[in-house]
Structure 1
Amino acid sequence: MAKASSESRTTIPTSYGKYPRRIPSFMFLHSPKLFVYLLAMITILFILQAPPSTSWDFMHQWEKPFFTTKSTPQVLQHYNCSQELKSMVSKLQEAVTFLPLKDLRYSSKALQGHTWFMSSMFDTHEKGEVQYQEFPSKASKGRLLCLKGRDTHDGSWNLYALAWPQALPPNATLKKGLTFISYNHYNYDNIWHGLSSMVPFIAWHIKNRCSNSPTRWFLYHWGELRTTMGPWLSSLMQATFGERLNIENFQKTEGENQTSPTCFAKSVVMRHNEGGMSRERRLQVYDLLRCKARIFCNVTTISEVNETGVPIIGMTLFMRTGPRSFKNESAVIGIFQKACRKVEGCRLGVAYANNLSFCEQVKLMSLTDVLVSPHGAQLTNMFLMDRNSSVMEFFPKGWLKLAGIGQYVYHWIASWSGMNHCGAWRDPGGERCPFAEDDRRCMSVYKNARIGHNESYFYEWGRNVLRDVKLRKGQGVLKKSGSSGSGSGSCGC
């Protein structure tokens, strides 16, 4: 019997017939094709049994064998992220879009809605508070306000935009501190119109617990840059915030691009004057202004009674020269002197608004319980009197029919500042208009006309107002509050 072979024997059919043929047990190790097939099957089974993963994870797994050193993956990854971040910041910088400060599409309704100044922006408005815009804020999505241009004749050439702090527009200058930006549809020289544009900043200041004062101011009129305000208004703001106003004009240092944008670390924009404010908030604003002005001008406490113990009543005739002045000043003064003599404790004073400094006006108003004056900006001083003081106003002919709602502004400020507006006298006589009396063209004749007088009416009116003031002072309703004006050395702020 033949010796058994250690190799297995397998008989396979062939085309040549059935012949015995020896095949190794691990033949697949010598067959590349079969090896690849088996490896592919094992891989597929592994994938099917593995937990689900994202394509990013799968690709990330295949990246690993190519980064075998300890530092190479981190260095390359940091480099890629840094380059991508720089690219994104650059794109954001270039994407900052500047729009005209004055949107001419709204020129026919510049004071309606959210105004033609920064027309794409909406104000923040809480009930009873001032309307304002603050940057950065939740409303601005954390973006800063940037301005560009310093044109003083056409506001559509001055521009604004919003930008993220990390992606300011190219060549931008960042201004630190708090910036107040004011829009005024009228002007900053007339003390009434100027004060109306400042009041909302005081309200915002109070709302924020007087925590900080503005580092700088930017003033706009119809989007046109203004670099000054009237001395009376400037002094009042200095008294309120405790330092001289820094009104900027976008002047650059030597070497800086004159047309490059300026961005603000923190800014507040006002464009609606007192619009939306409650009477309580307005009273707080005027109390603060009165108090700060008296401290600034060192107005000291005065005696409330004369030597016989009778309450002192100060009546001041605050006169104008030129437009809307009295035709016969001496006669008007004589009438009110006569009325004053009939009321014990009354002291009459006569002053002209155009030749008094700011502090002289503050002191004069602190001595005044009854203010007698023609319609005009000088009446704005009324809020510097003590609360519950009285105002008597005089108009030329024609104003009632033709002047519009603006003729009531001193009724409003009397209410807002806690004063008593005791009515207005309107001259029935005066210059004749060549047109019908209700023709709008007549206002050009009546606007700055001089005012006549009615002796019996003025006398009785004056006496009645003085008697009412004496009664209220006797009851302690009217009380001189010295330098604070609000009863608090800190002015309540």
Structure 2
Amino acid sequence: MDLEKHSKVPTKRPKGCSCQSPTLVILFTLTPLLVLLLFRIQSFTFSTPSGSTSWEFFQKWTAITIDSTTDHSCSDRLGNLTAKLRESVTFLPLKDLRYADMEAAMSGNTWFMSSLSDTVEENEAEHLYFPSQGSKGRILCIKGRDSKDGSKNSYALAWPESLPESATLLEGLSFVSDTYYDYLNLWHGLYAVAPFVGWSMKNQCLKPTRWVLFHWGELRSKMGAWAQNLMRATYGDVAVEVFRGGGDGPYCFERAVVMRHNIENMGKKKRVQVSEQLRCKAREFCGINTSSKGNEVNERGELVVNMTLLMRRGSRSFKNASAVVNVFTRECERVDGCALSVVQSEDLSFCDQVRVMTYTDIVATPHGAQLTNMLFMEPGSRVMEFFPRGWLELAGIGRHAHRWTAELCGMIHEGTYWEPLGTKDCPNPHQDLDCFLFYKDGQVGHNETFFAEWTRDVLSRVRESKLEEAKKRLQPKRTTCIC
């Protein structure tokens, strides 16, 4: 029996009608998910910002679709990492006792923040700045306010996002200073603040929000009146931070400049520029107009040479002040245009000191802090310095302090008078330090012949110099400050 053979003719089905269609399978599968997604998108009222890229849109879309438990997990991890960074901040003693002696300090080591290396720039004072690339973006934190033992105070670096527990953030720019000497003496105060002025001049004349002062790592609460007035003239009223507002700390500084070597490696050119800035700001602060200075003449039409005998009381004063005044008066009267002023330094206010020295061409004075006021004299002015017994033989490099200041300020140091030691009559003649302390604050004797000849020579040179300068001066001197 032959089987009936049927040829199968393909039958065309309407498109989209087959339940086996892959498109329908995918559509039926995704529809519930799409509906759920649309509801979630609507709940977030999410819209794509104009100008956003497809990748940005995808990132936001992905963030929406991530399960909320994952978000909490990431947040917890971030919190844990921040806590670990906070706990890892390590405080070290501000004063490193390995370098706690003069020899170590003078050889370039520092006991203050000894683990950190200074930024060294040509012609500038060595310094530290936070935050910086060198600190990897970390800021400076200080803990402790001990004023007697610097090793009990400490410092650390921390990232701003993970400051130590109980830290107080001090906003703005902080000037942090550590000096081997102090801030009360005029000379020491000047050398401590001068490098900050140099840094400001290079950095858009930035002004500090606060001062933080250390001496051997020990916290100090104030500057001397002279240095304070000089800084008020330069920056306005800036408080000295004493770390009392936030308990025992630590205190962290949003931005900080740290100086710990005074002007040690500042170039000569920059030192003179800093002196010019300080001089200019002090005169401006005291209302002193110097536009016509240098061309003063007396009633006889003679070019004036102003000599100031700057006296002091007590230690290193002249034994016979009236005899010294007579010598200078006599020699001044012999020079056309010479005008002598005898001034007691302790009786002058800050602005009185600025005013007296602004109009001084020659200052003659015993060795002492009052001579720091040469800063306010015109560059090229002259300095005559007088020492009591023992200083030449026993004082060491300290006897050159005001020669250095003259160089810093652009003055000419005309030499010194050393009263002869004679017989060494100190209690311990074989102990130089003990001997020096015995003579250190003695009074200055006088040698009338030497004083007269020396004064005559200096007056003659200054008068000739001023006459030459008067001929050459075509333009008035600059009276506006750099900052």
* TM, length-normalised to structure 1: 0.81
1:74 Cα shift? 4.8
Report the equivalent of 1:52.
none
Say if 1:117 and 1:426 are closer, same or farther in 2 by CA, change over 3 A: same
- Partner residue of 2:226 out of 218, 224, 232: 232
In structure 2, what is the Cα distance between the partners aligned to 1:416 and 1:189? 20
- Partner residue of 1:104 out of 97, 103, 120: 97
Contact 1:402–1:438 at 8 Å: present in 2 too? no
- Partner SS state of residue 225, structure 1: strand
Question: Is 1:91 equivalent to 2:84 in the alignment?
Answer: yes
In structure 2, what is the Cα distance between the partners aligned to 1:335 and 1:437? 37
- Partner residue of 2:319 out of 323, 327, 333: 327
Say if 1:138 and 1:465 are closer, same or farther in 2 by CA, change over 3 A: same
Question: Is 1:259 equivalent to 2:253 in the alignment?
Answer: no
AA aligned opposite 2:165: P
- Partner residue of 2:462 out of 432, 456, 469: 469
AA aligned opposite 1:208: N
In structure 1, what is the Cα distance between the partners aligned to 2:425 and 2:288? 46
In structure 2, what is the Cα distance between the partners aligned to 1:260 and 1:306? 62
Report the equivalent of 2:288.
299
1:438 Cα shift? 7.5
1:260 Cα shift? 2.4
Report the equivalent of 1:416.
408
AA aligned opposite 2:81: M
AA aligned opposite 2:282: A
- Partner residue of 1:393 out of 374, 382, 385: 385
AA aligned opposite 2:275: Y
Say if 1:329 and 1:480 are closer, same or farther in 2 by CA, change over 3 A: farther
Say if 1:70 and 1:185 are closer, same or farther in 2 by CA, change over 3 A: closer
Deviations 1:389-430 (A, max 9, x none): 000001111111211111101111111211000000100157
Question: Is 1:153 equivalent to 2:153 in the alignment?
Answer: no
Report the equivalent of 1:21.
none
TM alignment of 1:248-397, pairs within 5 A: 248-252=241-245, 256=246, 258-301=247-290, 304-397=296-389
In structure 1, what is the Cα distance between the partners aligned to 2:119 and 2:187? 25
Deviations 1:80-110 (A, max 9, x none): 2221111110000000011111111211324
Contact 2:112–2:178 at 8 Å: present in 1 too? yes
Question: Is 1:215 equivalent to 2:225 in the alignment?
Answer: no
Contact 2:130–2:255 at 8 Å: present in 1 too? yes
AA aligned opposite 2:418: R
Say if 1:71 and 1:230 are closer, same or farther in 2 by CA, change over 3 A: closer
In structure 2, what is the Cα distance between the partners aligned to 1:173 and 1:326? 52
Number of matched pairs: 417
- Partner SS state of residue 153, structure 1: coil
In structure 2, what is the Cα distance between the partners aligned to 1:136 and 1:375? 42
Deviations 1:25-51 (A, max 9, x none): xxxxxxxxxxxxxxxxxxxxxxxxxxx
Unaligned runs of 5+ in 2: 4-61
- Partner residue of 1:173 out of 163, 168, 176: 168
Contact 2:243–2:249 at 8 Å: present in 1 too? no
In structure 1, what is the Cα distance between the partners aligned to 2:471 and 2:407? 16
1:437 Cα shift? 7.1
In structure 1, what is the Cα distance between the partners aligned to 2:321 and 2:415? 20
In structure 1, what is the Cα distance between the partners aligned to 2:441 and 2:416? 17
- Partner SS state of residue 475, structure 1: helix
AA aligned opposite 2:168: T
Unaligned runs of 5+ in 1: 4-68
Deviations 1:178-227 (A, max 9, x none): 100110111111000111100100110111131x2101111111111111
Contact 1:387–1:419 at 8 Å: present in 2 too? yes
Contact 1:388–1:477 at 8 Å: present in 2 too? no
* TM, length-normalised to structure 2: 0.82
Contact 2:142–2:249 at 8 Å: present in 1 too? no
Q: Once the two structures are aligned, what percentage of the paired residues are identical?
A: 50
AA aligned opposite 1:294: R
In structure 2, what is the Cα distance between the partners aligned to 1:336 and 1:74? 93
- Partner SS state of residue 329, structure 2: helix
1:477 Cα shift? 6.9
- Partner residue of 1:445 out of 438, 443, 446: 438
1:307 Cα shift? 2.9
In structure 2, what is the Cα distance between the partners aligned to 1:221 and 1:383? 24
1:300 Cα shift? 2.6
Say if 1:480 and 1:378 are closer, same or farther in 2 by CA, change over 3 A: farther
- Partner residue of 1:118 out of 95, 113, 117: 113
1:76 Cα shift? 3.7
Deviates more, 1:123-132 or 1:106-115: 106-115
Contact 1:234–1:245 at 8 Å: present in 2 too? no
In structure 2, what is the Cα distance between the partners aligned to 1:478 and 1:397? 43
